[in-house]
Amino acid sequence: MLTETGATGLAAIAEDPGGAVIALDFDGTLAPIVADPSAAWIHPAAPAALIRLAGQVARIAIITGRPPSTALALGDTPEGPDLIDVPGLLILGHYGLERWEGGETVAPPPPSGLELVRNELPALVATLADGVKIEDKGRAVAVHTRNCADPDAVLAALREPVARLAERAGLVVEPGRKVLELRGPGMDKGRALRALLAETAARSVMFVGDDLGDLAAFAAVADSGLPGVRVCSGSSEVAALTEVCDVVVDGPAGVVALLETLHKSITSRDQ
């Protein structure tokens, strides 16, 4: 499936790659969703595909809920190249609050309410089910239920108490695929992408995502007034995303294939 809007966006990127911003989520997009988030290694062919595109487009960016350092660590491949080898790569971590570029990281202090969450969340989840995993991201804390016997039921049971804890801590809750993330307010992937498009003076844009947190970035593409493509790294878990995207691809392997196709399309027009 490719919408007319998506076809127009892809054509604009291929015709004028120097004005194109290619932005992607990390988990579920460049790396598979796995039971242990610390083992979500990038697809081995993804860095090479990004390197080829980086020499053609205005900017390659990763916009993720992860810290940039984690995305870079999980961006290593068995034989290389690695994510860090992508020329001019920009990583906007923690939904845009933390910026990594050229080996330098700029970020505000973590929200003070995280200490309350770190102190109280373990006891809260322990009363509900076995298998719940707490992931401390430094500037956010995530609760994963993927390893529970009934992940959806546990996630539903967690929503209200986690929301109450977040409110007390002055944080917001970002729902996702078998996960609830408590993080600071005031930033999302849509705001991060809008700022990037303005900074780059972009003339076209592609955003690739797989989860509810990517809806804001999809909206930013649609609202930008630029030729744009919203790509869903397909999952039956997130129907809300597939309903508003321009094209669905089959997970990280499908994302890599799309990047390769775009690279070849740009190359053929340059010849």
pLDDT at 271: 63
**In degrees rounded to 5, what are phi and psi of residue 144?**
-105, 135
Q: How many CB atoms lie within 10 A of CB 229?
A: 28
- pTM of the model as a whole: 0.88
Domain boundaries of the chain, sorted by first residue = 4-108+187-270, 114-183
pLDDT at 237: 67
Closest CA to 28 of 14, 43, 17: 43
pLDDT at 236: 64
Q: How far apart are CA 33 and CA 180, in angstroms?
A: 15
DSSP per residue over 83-99, as a string?
A: GGGSTT-EEEEGGGTEE
pLDDT at 240: 84
Look up tokens 């993330």; give the residue: 181
Pick the CATH number of 114-183 from 3.20.20.140, 3.30.70.1020, 3.40.309.10, 3.40.109.10: 3.30.70.1020
**Contact at 8 Å (CB) between 23 and 205?**
yes
- Does this chain's domain 4-108+187-270 share its CATH topology with 114-183? no
What does the pLDDT look like over 56-105, one tens digit per residue?
Answer: 999 999 999 999 999 999 999 999 899 999 999 999 999 999 999 999 99
What does the pLDDT look like over 117-149, one tens digit per residue?
Answer: 999 999 999 888 889 999 999 889 999 999 999
pLDDT above 80: residue 262 = yes
Class of domain 4-108+187-270: alpha beta
